[in-house]
Amino acid sequence: MRRLSMFKKYIAVLIVATVTGTLQAQDTLRIDFRTAVDLALSANAAYQIQSNNMEVLKVQKQSAFLSHFPNANINTSLSQQSGQQFQQIEGEIVVTNVTNEIVNAGLNMSMPIFNAGRRILDTQSAKLAYDAGEKGLDRASQQVMFDVARRYLQVLLDGEIVRISQENLDNQKETLRQIQGFVDAGLRTLSDKYNQESEVARLESVLVDAQLKYENDVWDLSEYLQLEPGVVPLLTAVDPRAGELRFEGMEMQELYEMAQLNRADGTQQDLLVTSYKKDMQAIKSMYYPRIGAFYNYNTFFTSLDDRNLQDQLWKVYPQNTLGLSLTIPIFNNFQNKLNVASSKVAYKNQILQKESMDRKIYQDVKLAYLNYMAAVKKESNTEIQVLAAKEALNAISERFRLGISNFVDLATANQQLVSAQADQAQAVYTLFFQEVLMQHALGTLDVLDLK
């Protein structure tokens, strides 16, 4: 029994040393929460894609605004004609077989004057779409922040569990040393010593499990932050007890109204509904007549004319055309009707998405609120649990020292204290995380909320 217990002890010590050595062998990067969020935003593909899409929305907004100004184009062409050429000389048409080199140039300008308000609607729709994109980007950044906070706090909790496990192991090793003294003095039996050795070996295994979980969660955070291979983040600690319970005592309806005002994704859906409505109205304007103004300037040069290039282009052949155009849609193979039907469906679908988002916001707030209130109660209960477990262990330790209590009672009391301490650490960090989750559900999460 003794040899088996010592063998387990050496194996556990070896595993602990291996895990610890692995962690220390990596390159460490000390980061705080703000730095972690910055790293995540620069590495998160979904956020970067949405950020890139904002460039398109920005150009669409600019294009819609500039559609109120004239459209201008310059055209030119160079050509060579070989064969029979028709020329008018002294009132007669003369046909000659020559090579004619021609230069054409022109300036064309056009501007819609009336198109049933389509330009205004397109401009408004593009601006709304851009504003909606900004709101979506804000929500995407909050989602990244929330994901970082969840992993960040989990690593800190794992570190606290490792500390509790290490402290408990050290205490039990000291107890083993005391029992060894009692055995040598004839006050305790060898069975107490062997039982304590077994308990120490068990706690060494518990420490190994805690360290392995810590390492796995550290690597999970490293992967999310897209750190260089072999680089391990060394996190700046936060005080989970420092924050106030700002949502305790608030009613669900009050929280939901707060979320409706602050949730960027909810505002995004509202803006998109209006934007799609403007698009639909703009496309309907194609049913109505359109009036436009145009101006054309054209000139050319021909090698059949003996005058020089400058005189022909600027003095002899220039033509100026200024006018108005009226377009009355009569029949275009139902293309306008198809466009209107498509835009109407897109508008209705966007209304459905808005209603779905409203339900999701309510569900997020409700679930976060229930978990938050449960975390508040659990944190209060674990504080009482730890105090009671400490008193129980102190009493049983004294009885064990006097020989009144047995080893089983001592081991049980110690396990209850360690379990209570672990539960308290879990409850404290859970409450802190639920605070973050509430802010995420309400749309008020900021990088400064975790410090």
Taking a C-beta distance cutoff of 8 angstroms, is the pair 179, 200 a contact?
no
Answer yes or no: is pLDDT of 381 > 60: yes
Whole-number mean pLDDT of the chain?
86
CA distance 251 to 258: 11
Answer yes or no: is pLDDT of 365 > 90: yes
CA distance 435 to 446: 12
CA distance 424 to 393: 17
Contacts of 201 (CB under 8 A, 6+ apart): 5, 8, 9, 12
pLDDT of residue 248: 79
For residues 254-277, average pLDDT: 95
pLDDT of residue 23: 45
In angstroms, the Cα distances linking 234 to 195, 302, 422 are: 38, 78, 22
DSSP string, 327-385: E----STTHHHHHHHHHHHHHHHHHHHHHHHHHHHHHHHHHHHHHHHHHHHHHHHHHHH
CA distance 380 to 374: 10
Answer yes or no: is pLDDT of 4 > 80: no
pLDDT of residue 399: 82
Taking a C-beta distance cutoff of 8 angstroms, is the pair 287, 117 a contact?
no
pLDDT of residue 6: 45
pLDDT digits (tens, 9 = 90+) for 145-156: 999 999 999 999
pLDDT of residue 448: 63
Answer yes or no: is pLDDT of 187 > 80: no
Residues 233-267 as b/e (b if ≥16 CB within 10 A, e otherwise) read: bebeebebeeeeeebeeeeeeebbebbbebbbbbb
CA distance 164 to 300: 91
Answer yes or no: is pLDDT of 24 > 60: no
Q: Residue 2 — pLDDT band, cuts 50, 70, 90?
A: very low
Answer yes or no: is pLDDT of 208 > 70: yes
Answer yes or no: is pLDDT of 303 > 70: yes
pLDDT of residue 1: 42
Cα Rg of the chain, angstroms: 39
Q: Residue 27 — pLDDT band, cuts 50, 70, 90?
A: confident
For residues 277-284, average pLDDT: 95
- Nearest Cα to Cα of residue 346 among 285, 266, 283: 283
- Nearest Cα to Cα of residue 167 among 427, 431, 418: 418
- Nearest Cα to Cα of residue 353 among 273, 281, 277: 273
pLDDT of residue 10: 45
Answer yes or no: is pLDDT of 8 > 50: no
Q: What are phi and psi of 29, to 5 degrees?
A: -130, 110
Residue 108's beta-bridge partner residues? 73, 296
Q: How far apart are the two ends of the chain, measured CA to CA in Å?
A: 50
Taking a C-beta distance cutoff of 8 angstroms, is the pair 413, 396 a contact?
yes
Q: Residue 94 — pLDDT band, cuts 50, 70, 90?
A: low
For residues 391-401, average pLDDT: 84
Strand ranges of the sheet holding 290-302, from the earlier edge strand across to the other edge: 71-89, 92-114, 290-302, 319-327
pLDDT of residue 274: 97
